[in-house]
A and B are shown apart, each in its own frame.
Chain A
């Protein structure tokens, strides 16, 4: 039996916090503002979409502290054990004045009403720590999770570009104190399970402890990145207890190539998985940049995006097209299935009580596979798709040998277009085949109309994405 600790330990700026009374659904934002009086961090939307609440969270990874920008409104306190939370109040320049990012923002007139500004500053600090002289594209990508309603962003982009002229990370307090913070965090990491609220909140010690915890409490809410769960709490006022927190389990977030597949552990964040997947899968990088904003990519997990069974999740169509396999674990037992088999119906997945998503195995695509991934949304970035799609087609000697056409936003679950696939297979790769597949999609799907798109638009776009796929790959076919 693992030893149990009944309090959370983490750092907020310079101070150590020992907290015995954190509820399952208590957000970091409320903790900062209401209990610590740190009111520089703002609530704009409480659903992880506006970035006004952005703070940095540092966690020990292989002995080093890695800081990531996250949305504190949907970051839950039990997930912070052993972390270093850095708020806007902690920033300073080398001379004790404004931080280089702050000074650049002031000099470039980067704030008007100022309410989004602390969150924007935190994101730009996170970017500056990684890339003090970022490209314009990197700045725009870093800011995907931050809304500003006043400036139109132009001066913020100028400030981000200029920040490196005001100072470099080697002189920064966070960088200089990294080792000291690492030592403090290491001292907190006692390897114990944490239980709070009379055992209704469990932060397991490791993966086996997680399996035990879920066997003991099969109805528990599993919380990884909380990018969905945090919204249930803040918007639906849902009580998620009993809850088991898994985001910290490094063993469950491993990314490793094995037997011609890339294994992505359930708690690997989108950011964690990005390098391995986008290197192995051609054409995926652009799509990956359109998942959430930076904060969401740092928080949300590959496993969570699958586990909750959303019909509009970004990853399932991609992974289904690639032929991914899902590994579930319950106690000591594991089972695997093709990913598409996991999604039974709207809100219903093939997941037993006490079972959890352990890993998704993504086969490395064949050399001759044509792959494309498309996301169509009202706003290009940080939006939920109207339609998204992952296509994989293999053509041998002009004939289509294999076709996997996976769609999101077209049905109650992420799903393959079986009629569309059938219309392609065995035919020559030409316009007639694509036209046949376009027609066949009407048999595959009866999409709905909602605020994201009408049924008519969804159906039309799904067909046109096949045309796009053909245009993207037909020159390769002839060569």
Chain B
């Protein structure tokens, strides 16, 4: 007898599981949930000094404002006044005695309505005694964590003996996450010391632990739930802690449900961003542009506390080679403490800044030798005898960049278009064009090795319906639909038989943040393990019950073939239940092979690499510095994609987000350390009209992961963002054309129209001198 064909759910272009709910407004975010009667609203009181002793904080007027139920300060914290994700003790819920940045939480006011709480918060009278404030990272003297050095070979000797040598400085700006849904948390007190928290967070387990520490209760008393976030991008990895902790403190103190939803301005002022970096590089190379030695120092503005800055600045070093082999290399991090908001995770987690440094070096060598940047790239790619070792001594074993780059050159018509750009610029008009092809090599795994673990929980109910839960969170990236397709594949049931459920610390404990692009790698495997455990039990039961060999049992399209019989999946499940077979299982996954010795700067921090290549063309108006990105072509390596539609969306979205970072998104602090770009009126992320009119994005369909990841897929969240280096270089080329390509424009980011115009002026003056 022939059964129905196997139906593959993995690798199919399923829509986002919430798509219909998104478009109808029925997808509920934390602020949309039904509110318990008597719920109160909290608002934070933020500091208005960058660094000062709090000489006096008079909250009398706050407490007596209409609708106010009470105020909370550091004195109201029963446990530790610390929300540091690394337990550093340097990140208070409420500043106590001293404020360390402009916009730091000092107190909270709780009122009957959110409007009343907001009004009341502004009635605080605070007297500051200023202390010296350090705003810029490069002015800072103190580090927030131990710097890292990655080194291989004798870099000084190699630099000294190199035929050519160049030094330079690159400044790379920060970036606000600008998730459309601002931070929010909502806490409900339970019996005794129990508390439930709904948080918009990528890291429910950390919120749980932080709330427990702040309230001085065991973690078992705290349950954190999150169904979905309205965007996160790293901004809700550790930054949710503050809002959850305050909501929980207030709920505990007043015995009522309490919600804390900062407005956009408070959100952008009080929460961390992508680190801005200064990179000082020293590169030795030969006349052909072969890089011989690189010595770079990467200085990061970390803000007032360590938060995740240690790991962020480490990852910047891990990617400061991007795709290039440096025969002798020394990369040093300087994670600097400043009196600004504590910078944090943001899609790429330091790697984009590292890649920008690598690509600047390529540009310098190209302008230095007069060769094209693509030639310099190809000359220096990893590959060939003795040219496969990274600065952290992990060999590059899965390099597919030569093929990706060759294919994108072909697809994007790179060579003829570059010639057309050169010809266009040769006419000498006001408008200038630029084109650039840049590659990406991205290391996948948390560099904190222990974080590479995940759990899942699968229940099969008697009617054959399946309840799926895992430690990953949904922020729009399509993790839930990917993992559901893994489970549907395992049981060979329709996707809608798999119920996707909210992430909860009560179901799967001790989870890692959904971060570092690892969501589907980790949770997909964990869910597979859980489903597979149940499937094996069902097979064992069926073999026994129907007296057939396990090999004669197959799951096929909602049915199960057992020898010569063919029964519905639900029928088998019901029979198994009656025979007292356990129909619930946990799954667990830990990434194999990885290890990292930070002190030695050696190891295998990454399980594998993901690759990408992109070509960007721009047109610049040299009278105003305004520009358009006119065409982008991308060929991206998603391994064997778990969901090509979702992955395409990650590539398109990630690229545009990176483009925003390097073009229009500018964080601007005034002399007092006050962020003046704290809302969309002043902080400009890309619009639909910024999307390139020609935007060709493809996945490399031939690729599959060399490692046995789930479905041989690869991580997708972060790598595409790094292609934004091609935008910078294309703009740089247009600028360089105004001075006959004689000078490397050394364009810092964000490359705003202002930076472009001033760079054009600068090159004009250099040419005159």
Contact = CB atoms under 8 A, between A and B. Distances in A.
Given A106-B20, A379-B664, A87 B624 contact: no
Interface in A387-403: none
A468 to B, nearest CB: 5
Interface residues of A, number: 81
A380 interface: yes
A139 B475 CA distance: 26
Given A49-B679, A380-B690, A111 B19 contact: yes
A41 B688 contact: no
B684 interface: yes
B11 to A, nearest CB: 16
B361 to A, nearest CB: 28
A318 B685 CA distance: 27
B196 interface: no
Given A42-B181, A111-B23, A376-B626, A147 B680 contact: yes
Interface stretch (A114-122, A169-177, A302-310, A355-363): A114-122
Contact of B623 (A382, A386, A468): A468
A231 B679 CA distance: 11
Contacts of B693: 136
B16 A109 contact: yes
A26 to B, nearest CB: 10
Interface in A27-57: 30, 38-47, 49-50, 52
A81 interface: no
A57 to B, nearest CB: 17
A464 B27 contact: no
Contact of A379 (B16, B22, B684): B684
Contact of B688 (A40, A87, A88, A140): A140
B181 A115 contact: yes
- Secondary structure at chain B's binding surface: helix, strand, loop or mixed? loop
A91 interface: yes
Contacts of A453: 754
B65 to A, nearest CB: 11
Interface in B134-189: 177-182
Nearest to B119: A237
Interface in B5-29: 15-16, 18-29
B680 A49 contact: yes
A467 B430 CA distance: 10
A275 B307 CA distance: 54
Contacts of A475: none
B16 A115 contact: no
Contact of A149 (B31, B32, B657): B657
Interface stretch (A62-70, A152-160, A199-207): A152-160
A150 B753 contact: no
Interface in B740-756: 752-754
A87 B25 contact: yes
Interface stretch (A209-217, A245-253, A335-343, A455-463): A455-463
B681 interface: yes
A105 B475 CA distance: 18
A366 interface: no
Given A109-B19, A118-B23, A143 B664 contact: no
Interface in A82-131: 87-89, 91, 98, 101-102, 105-107, 109-118, 121
Interface residues on B, range: 35 or more
A383 B645 CA distance: 32
Contact of A381 (B115, B265, B687): B687
**Which of B649, B654, B686 is packed against the most chain A CB atoms within 10 Å?**
B649
B16 A111 contact: yes
B664 A378 contact: yes
Contacts of A114: 16, 18-19, 21-23, 27, 228, 230, 476
A144 interface: yes
A454 interface: yes
Contacts of A452: 682
Nearest to B667: A451
A98 B23 contact: yes
Given A98-B20, A147-B687, A451 B680 contact: no
A283 B618 CA distance: 25
A39 to B, nearest CB: 4
**Which of A52, A106, A154, A461 counts the most B-chain CB atoms under 10 A from its CB?**
A154
A389 to B, nearest CB: 11
A180 interface: no
B565 interface: no
B655 A111 contact: no
Contacts of A106: 15, 19-20, 23
B90 to A, nearest CB: 29
A143 B228 contact: no
B687 A382 contact: yes
Interface string B727-751: 0000000000000000000000000
A416 to B, nearest CB: 21
B607 interface: no
A50 B179 CA distance: 11
B526 to A, nearest CB: 23
Interface string B629-662: 0000000000000000110110011111100000
B23 A155 contact: no
A141 interface: yes
B697 interface: yes
B680 A50 contact: yes
A109 B122 CA distance: 42
A278 interface: no
B676 A113 contact: no
Contacts of A105: 19, 22-23
B118 interface: yes
B523 interface: no
Contacts of B648: 109
A266 interface: no
A151 interface: yes
Contacts of B753: 376-378, 386
Given A42-B181, A109-B645, A378-B753, A154 B28 contact: no
Most chain A beta-carbon neighbours within 10 Å: one of B21, B22, B265, B430: B22
Contacts of A467: 623
A231 to B, nearest CB: 8
Contacts of A262: none
Contacts of A111: 16, 18-19, 22-23, 476
B689 A144 contact: yes
Given A112-B477, A113-B179, A471-B430, A40 B24 contact: yes
Nearest to A289: B689
B180 to A, nearest CB: 4
B657 A152 contact: yes
A124 to B, nearest CB: 10
A357 B687 CA distance: 33
A271 interface: no
A117 B649 contact: no
B747 to A, nearest CB: 15
A40 B229 contact: no
Nearest to B113: A34
A144 B679 CA distance: 16
B180 A115 contact: yes
A40 B687 CA distance: 22
A469 to B, nearest CB: 10
A44 B180 contact: yes
14 contacts: A40-B26, A109-B16, A111-B16, A113-B179, A114-B230, A116-B230, A152-B657, A231-B681, A235-B679, A380-B626, A457-B757, A457-B758, A460-B761, A461-B757
Q: Shortest 5 CB-CB distances between A and B: which pairs? A: A40-B25, A113-B476, A115-B230, A152-B656, A114-B22
Given A47-B264, A88-B23, 12 more contacts: A49-B680, A102-B24, A105-B23, A106-B23, A109-B646, A113-B476, A151-B653, A152-B652, A153-B691, A379-B690, A381-B690, A386-B754
Interface of B: 15-16, 18-29, 31-32, 115, 118-119, 122, 177-182, 228-233, 263-265, 430, 475-478, 623-626, 628, 645-646, 648-649, 652-657, 664, 666, 668, 676-677, 679-682, 684-691, 693, 695, 697, 752-754, 757-758, 761
